[in-house]
Amino acid sequence: MLGKHVDPNKVTVGAVTGLSGLLREATARLERAGVASPRVDAELLAAHVLAVPRGRLVLIDDIRGGKATEFLDLVEQRSRRVPLQHLTGVAPFLGLELAVGPGVFIPRPETELLAQWAIEMVAPLPAPEVADLCSGSGALALAIAAQCPNAAVRAVERSLAALGWLRRNTSGTRVEVIAGDIRDVPIPAPLDLVVANPPYVPSTHRVQREIDFDPREAVFAGVDGLDLIPDVISRAAALLRPGGWLGFEHDESHDVVPLMEKDFERVERHLDLAGRPRYTTGMRRG
């Protein structure tokens, strides 16, 4: 019991503020709100408020006054489907923690597959030149830079709001930010690798409520979701050296192979863990 009167739509804090009780109540609240992973989210919010790793929560049962109120306020916001990452201010990506918030796309776990492919492609090269087109928070650029210490990595982004987060995340790293439109901003070339996670969701698609918090220009790309992808392919073709590689994410409904065949060979579609086409790669023809 958290209080004398518990409104079913609201978590209230009463005399008992033990963490395990609050977590149970918060989980129930998030479940009622339709949050996909209510217990995990409740624990991550508690860990954030208490400034401990989630695994340490089992060792804690005392959560007092201000901290309990702060936790319940975040649970309330999460139940209104504010993304978890906006509430904690960070998004994990391939072992990194990226600062995120309003104005920038939250990096998704499935994009780690593209990042891993990119790292495997450039890791053997002595001094690879890399560009991440449509960089957002910098997830792909930063993951590649972190794991390929010899790579020169540029992150290209045009949204002013996203650029603020990108500059914050890349500050003190080797990633160079290029502000502008991927279609015409000057980018040093020739490159060994281009990666991109452009906006690609068809504007007619129904999406999870959390996606309302991502900037529209980061997510949607016309009725078929293909407004920008042909430009990603042609810009990459212009920037890559013969034998250089392009890899980019796209909607599962897209067959981008025909768009790549003119300038790329060894074109391959890659599936995500659920078996859906998630990204496509190809090597610049000589």
Ligand X SMILES: C[S@@+](CC[C@H](N)C(=O)[O-])C[C@H]1O[C@@H](n2cnc3c(N)ncnc32)[C@H](O)[C@@H]1O
Q: Give the helix/strand (H/E) hosting 147.
A: helix 139-147
- What does residue 194 show for φ and ψ, rounded to 5 degrees? -125, 130
Cβ at position 67, least distance to ligand X in Å: 31
DSSP of 91-112: EEETTEEEE--TTSPPP-TTHH
Cβ at position 15, least distance to ligand X in Å: 44
Of 117, 97, 96, the residue nearest 271 (C-alpha): 117
Report the residue from 137, 170, 280, 281 that binds ligand X according to the rule CB under 6 A.
Answer: 137
* Binding piece for ligand X, criterion CB under 6 A, among 15-23, 121-129, 134-142, 168-176: 134-142
Cβ at position 34, least distance to ligand X in Å: 24
Whether the Cβ atoms of residue 180 and residue 158 lie closer than 8 Å to each other? yes
How many residues belong to the site for ligand X (CB under 6 A)? 23
Report the residue from 27, 79, 88, 111 that binds ligand X according to the rule CB under 6 A.
Answer: 111
Cβ at position 262, least distance to ligand X in Å: 21
138-167 residues near ligand X, rule: CB under 6 A: 139-140, 156-159, 162
Q: What b/e readout covers 76-96, taking b as 16+ CB neighbours within 10 angstroms?
A: bebbebbbbbbbbebbebbeb
- What does residue 239 show for φ and ψ, rounded to 5 degrees? -90, -30
Cβ at position 230, least distance to ligand X in Å: 12
Of 34, 182, 153, 168, the residue nearest 101 (C-alpha): 168
- What does residue 241 show for φ and ψ, rounded to 5 degrees? -75, 160
114-133 residues near ligand X, rule: CB under 6 A: none
Report the residue from 31, 73, 217, 224 that binds ligand X according to the rule CB under 6 A.
Answer: 217
Whether the Cβ atoms of residue 192 and residue 130 lie closer than 8 Å to each other? yes
* Binding piece for ligand X, criterion CB under 6 A, among 54-62, 70-78, 137-145, 252-260: 137-145
175-214 residues near ligand X, rule: CB under 6 A: 181-183, 197-199
Cβ at position 267, least distance to ligand X in Å: 21
- What does residue 284 show for φ and ψ, rounded to 5 degrees? -60, 130
Question: How is the chain split among helix, strand and coil, in percent rounded to 5?
Answer: 40, 20, 40
* Binding piece for ligand X, criterion CB under 6 A, among 10-18, 118-126, 135-143, 237-245: 135-143
Cβ at position 110, least distance to ligand X in Å: 9
The residue number with the shortest CB distance to ligand X is: 136
Report the residue from 79, 135, 170, 280 that binds ligand X according to the rule CB under 6 A.
Answer: 135
CA distance 166 to 156: 9
What are the residues binding ligand X (CB under 6 A)?
A: 105, 107, 111, 134-137, 139-140, 156-159, 162, 181-183, 197-199, 217-218, 228
